[in-house]
Amino acid sequence: MAKAHATNADVKKALDEFEIPADGEDFMIQLPRKIVQLLSAAGGKLQAQVEAYRADHSESEVEAYAKSLEEEWVKTADDISKTYLEAQDAIETDVAKMKKFFGSQKNMAGKTKADVLKEIWKLLPKYSDAPVEPLDEEMLSELAKVPAVIEGEFKHNWGTAETLYKSEAIDSFGSKYLLGIFEKEEDAKKAFDVWNKEYEQAGKDVKENLKSWAKGQEAELAEEQDSVDRIRKALEEAQR
């Protein structure tokens, strides 16, 4: 079906190279999850159309109708794949630009935010047709107290790393906790292990506290029962 209706040269080439396995033989094709979800949704809509058509038509008519939808299905699948790949390329392009931007940061030792702003202000007339207003001195004096590069932020890995790992935890109530974003997988695992150890210890502490509370409640009830028994005994003796 795909070979009969495919129009994209790359798709045709891939289909020609793909060997259909023997009947009953297992095989696997890996696709991005989002594409699978979109294809499943689109396929479900077409299947619903066929089922709706079946209600008022013979089986041969249904088969002919389903056959007529083949070209629409292949076009839909092609559009989904194309849209996904275009979006993926656009995102990767944006990522590359962002990494280049954050990677271009210069270590301006001894400089302040005021120095950086002054340098930017010098360049503004080259890129603006309107006259550039002078900087506010009060604002500059405040910015002069802030280092140009804050410790720990120079070329931060959130903007420069090729891959980052998110460490997340979910408690028994379904609440999610973001434990951190890390450049190394082992650091993400370490963060989870630390959290999990504290979580398990907290659970043990709660159980111990509940046990102590339960014992205290039992002791109070026993004391109250003892008082009730004494009062009952005193009343019985008074009635004799």
Residue 232 lies in a domain: yes
- Report the pLDDT value the prediction gives residue 218, as an integer from 0 to 100: 77
Residue 26 lies in a domain: no
Q: Indicate if 184 and 204 belong to the same structural domain.
A: yes
Residue 116 lies in a domain: yes
Give residue-wise pLDDT tens across range 17-43.
Answer: 888 888 898 888 888 899 999 999 999
How many structural domains are present in the chain? 3
Q: What ranges in the chain are assigned the alpha helix state H? A: 2-5, 9-17, 33-54, 59-68, 70-103, 113-127, 137-143, 157-160, 185-239
Q: Indicate if 236 and 170 belong to the same structural domain.
A: yes
- Report the pLDDT value the prediction gives residue 40, as an integer from 0 to 100: 93
Give residue-wise pLDDT tens across range 69-113.
Answer: 888 888 898 899 889 989 999 999 999 999 999 888 888 888 999
Residue 68 lies in a domain: yes
Q: Indicate if 172 and 139 belong to the same structural domain.
A: no
Which comes out higher in pLDDT, residue 226 or 25? 25
Last residue of a domain, one of 127, 143, 162: 162
Cα–Cα distance for residue pair 81/11, rounded to 1 Å:
11
Confidence of residue 5 (pLDDT cuts 50, 70, 90): low
Q: Indicate if 40 and 74 belong to the same structural domain.
A: yes
Q: Indicate if 10 and 84 belong to the same structural domain.
A: yes
Residue 7 lies in a domain: yes
Tokens of 136: 């506010």
- Report the pLDDT value the prediction gives residue 240, as an integer from 0 to 100: 63
Which comes out higher in pLDDT, residue 87 or 221? 87
Give residue-wise pLDDT tens across range 142-195.
Answer: 999 999 988 878 888 888 888 999 999 998 888 999 999 999 999 999 999 999
Question: CB neighbours of 114 closer than 8 A, spacing ≥ 6?
Answer: 140, 141, 143, 144, 146
Of 67, 17, 178, the C-alpha closest to 59 is 67
- Show the domain range for 234: 163-240
Residue 118 lies in a domain: yes
- Report the pLDDT value the prediction gives residue 141, as an integer from 0 to 100: 94
Confidence of residue 13 (pLDDT cuts 50, 70, 90): confident
Q: Indicate if 42 and 88 belong to the same structural domain.
A: yes
